[in-house]
């Protein structure tokens, strides 16, 4: 498979995607590999995979160059090829596998646990983009360059297994040389990583709300079993305020200015409700609400040093709200909804006087009397909060619930999406067609086609 064969190719020409050097060392100490795995996993949320998805889900609007084509659904087999090869499988996931293997041999359970959490996050991205992907046979090196694709059902089982095994490993006594400064998120604090793993379990349980009647209860159980409950425990990756260590979203907008604006749907939603987050999301320049201006200190996601969470506390609270709502615990769901939104305002450093009126006017079920209306309110608020930090999860929510009620892009191209719906999946990368054709074609056949209007298993 192309996962290894292309590791020596040059980095992407898509500036702003600081995918790490594909010629990385093949053998290094755990303390050298872990920072790389943490950094690449975090970048995978906000580099080209996040930008394309943010455009599809209408957080962003492409107004020039490549992003404009994304807005028209011109997302072909080459668009995410580099992301698959050096961001995911040959990048963060290969590093995670390396850590897991080394940690087992050297009896370093906390390294193993952290790596399994990161592997779960990256596998979650991969399966939410493409449905079936290689996993169980994906990291055997030269022994198997054409791994089979796992079913999406099996992949979700693998995600939960990774997270369970991570908790078990992190609950073991620390070794003589545990993660410390090389853990760029928590400094080796195993308790915080366990709380992160439980939060992620809740996320991936709820992904299957259309497939499993137990999904809501399982998600709620995971949260109540010890998912983190404060912003201080949020797993933030600390980007720095310089171009070499910047958050990929503002870095892209700095290097390729005036290509991305806030999406029309989101922009209008924030304006109509006088939402104080609008001034933190976009700045109007010559009549265009852009995502970046070097001098606009009010833009939260316009700062190079904006920390990016693997999963935010706001997302955890929104998951709790939806789970409670699905379990017919409406009053508790409403309370969780308000807590989720307050948490997000606090994350954005918005003072209470700026959001108190919005809170009282919009964040209740007074005018949302049916389950569908209440679910729409919860998911619309979650959609707003995921801007900048996780459009991938907003896309998952839309595909499994239909909320918020997005309309397909005006002027969309039918080449890869003949139904002209908001895309349901991405095309597999060209490198897989070339190097793993038999398994590539088998996965396409099982999933019902290779176009962006084809639903993947989790959302059928």
Q: Give residue-wise pLDDT tens across range 164-222.
A: 999 999 999 998 899 999 999 999 999 999 999 999 999 999 999 999 999 999 999 99
Domain membership of residue 260 (yes or no) is no
Pick from 96, 66, 95: nearest CA to 79: 66
Domain membership of residue 353 (yes or no) is no
Provide the residue range defining the domain that includes 87: 2-10+26-240+427-459
Domain membership of residue 245 (yes or no) is no
The dihedrals phi and psi of 182, each to the nearest 5 degrees, come to -70, -20
Please give the C-alpha separations between residue 167 and each of 34, 142, 191, 201, 205, in angstroms, as whole numbers: 18, 31, 9, 11, 16
Predicted pLDDT at 22? 47
State the Cα–Cα distance between residues 47 and 51, nearest whole angstrom. Answer: 6
Token digits for 99? 């850590």
Q: How far, in whole angstroms, is CA 74 from its chain's centroid?
A: 21
Domain membership of residue 365 (yes or no) is no
Pick from 137, 126, 133, 158: nearest CA to 49: 126
Domain membership of residue 186 (yes or no) is yes
212-262: pLDDT as tens digits:
999 999 999 999 999 999 999 999 999 999 999 999 999 999 999 999 999
The answer to whether the beta carbons of residues 269 and 275 sit under 8 Å apart is yes
Q: How far, in whole angstroms, is CA 276 from its chain's centroid?
A: 24
Predicted pLDDT at 17? 55
DSSP 8-class letter at 300? G
Predicted pLDDT at 145? 84
The answer to whether the beta carbons of residues 383 and 45 sit under 8 Å apart is no
State the Cα–Cα distance between residues 409 and 401, nearest whole angstrom. Answer: 19
Predicted pLDDT at 26? 52
- Helix (H) or strand (E) holding 373, with range, is helix 371-385
Predicted pLDDT at 2? 35
Token digits for 261? 């604006």
Count of domains for the chain: 1
The answer to whether the beta carbons of residues 341 and 363 sit under 8 Å apart is yes
143: CATH: 1.25.40.390
Please give the C-alpha separations between residue 15 and each of 42, 173, 257, in angstroms, as whole numbers: 17, 43, 11
- All residue ranges of the chain with pLDDT < 70 are 1-27
Cβ neighbours, 10 Å, residue 405: 10
Domain membership of residue 30 (yes or no) is yes
State the Cα–Cα distance between residues 372 and 402, nearest whole angstrom. Answer: 10
Domain membership of residue 272 (yes or no) is no
| Alpha-carbon torsion, ordered 50, 52, 54, 58, to 10 deg | 180
Domain membership of residue 140 (yes or no) is yes
Please give the C-alpha separations between residue 294 and each of 162, 255, 256, 257, 291, in angstroms, as whole numbers: 40, 11, 12, 10, 10
Query: Per 3-state DSSP, what percentage of the chain is helix, strand, and coil (rounded to 5)?
Result: 55, 5, 40
Task: Please enumerate in sequence order all residues whose Cβ is within 8 A of that of 26, keeping only pairs 6 or more positions apart, or say none.
Answer: none
């Amino acid at each position: 498979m192309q996962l290894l064969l292309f590791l020596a190719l040059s980095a992407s020409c898509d500036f702003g995607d600081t995918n790490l050097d594909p010629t990385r060392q093949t053998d290094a100490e755990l303390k050298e590999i872990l920072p790389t795995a943490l950094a690449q996993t975090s970048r995978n949320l906000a580099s080209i995979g996040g930008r394309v998805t943010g455009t599809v889900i209408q957080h962003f609007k492409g107004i020039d160059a490549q992003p404009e084509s994304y807005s028209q659904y011109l997302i072909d087999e080459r668009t995410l090829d580099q992301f698959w090869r050096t961001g995911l499988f040959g990048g963060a996931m290969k590093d995670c596998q390396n850590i897991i293997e080394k940690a087992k041999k050297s009896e370093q359970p906390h390294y193993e646990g952290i790596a399994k959490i990161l592997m779960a996050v990256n596998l979650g991205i991969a399966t939410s983009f493409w449905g079936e992907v290689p996993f169980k046979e994906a990291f055997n090196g030269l022994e198997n360059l054409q791994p089979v694709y796992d079913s999406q059902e099996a992949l979700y089982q693998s995600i939960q297994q990774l997270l369970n095994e991570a908790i078990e490993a992190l609950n073991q006594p620390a070794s003589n040389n545990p993660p410390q400064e090389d853990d760029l998120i928590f400094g080796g604090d195993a308790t915080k990583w366990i709380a992160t793993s439980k939060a992620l379990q809740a996320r991936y349980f709820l992904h299957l709300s259309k497939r499993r009647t137990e999904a809501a209860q399982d998600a709620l159980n995971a949260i109540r079993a010890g998912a983190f409950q404060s912003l201080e425990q949020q797993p933030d990756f600390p980007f720095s305020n310089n171009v070499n260590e910047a958050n990929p979203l503002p870095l892209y907008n700095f290097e390729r200015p005036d290509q991305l604006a806030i999406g029309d749907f989101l922009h209008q939603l924030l304006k109509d409700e006088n939402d104080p987050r609008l001034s933190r999301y976009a700045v109007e320049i010559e009549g265009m609400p852009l995502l970046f201006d070097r001098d606009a200190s009010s833009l939260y996601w316009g700062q190079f040093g904006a920390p990016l969470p693997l999963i935010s506390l706001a997302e955890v609270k929104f998951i709790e709200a939806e789970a409670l709502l699905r379990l017919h615990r409406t009053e508790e769901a409403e309370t969780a909804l308000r807590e989720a939104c307050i948490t997000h305002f606090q994350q954005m450093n918005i003072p209470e006087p700026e959001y108190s009126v919005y809170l009282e006017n919009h964040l209740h079920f007074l005018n949302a009397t049916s389950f569908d209306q209440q679910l729409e309110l919860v998911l619309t608020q979650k959609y707003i909060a995921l801007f900048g930090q996780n459009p991938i999860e907003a896309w998952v929510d839309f595909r499994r619930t239909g909320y918020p009620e997005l309309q397909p892009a005006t002027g969309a191209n039918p080449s890869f999406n003949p139904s002209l719906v908001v895309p349901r999946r991405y095309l597999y990368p060209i490198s897989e067609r070339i190097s793993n054709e038999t398994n590539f074609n088998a996965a396409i056949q099982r999933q019902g086609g290779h176009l962006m209007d084809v639903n993947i298993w989790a959302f059928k």
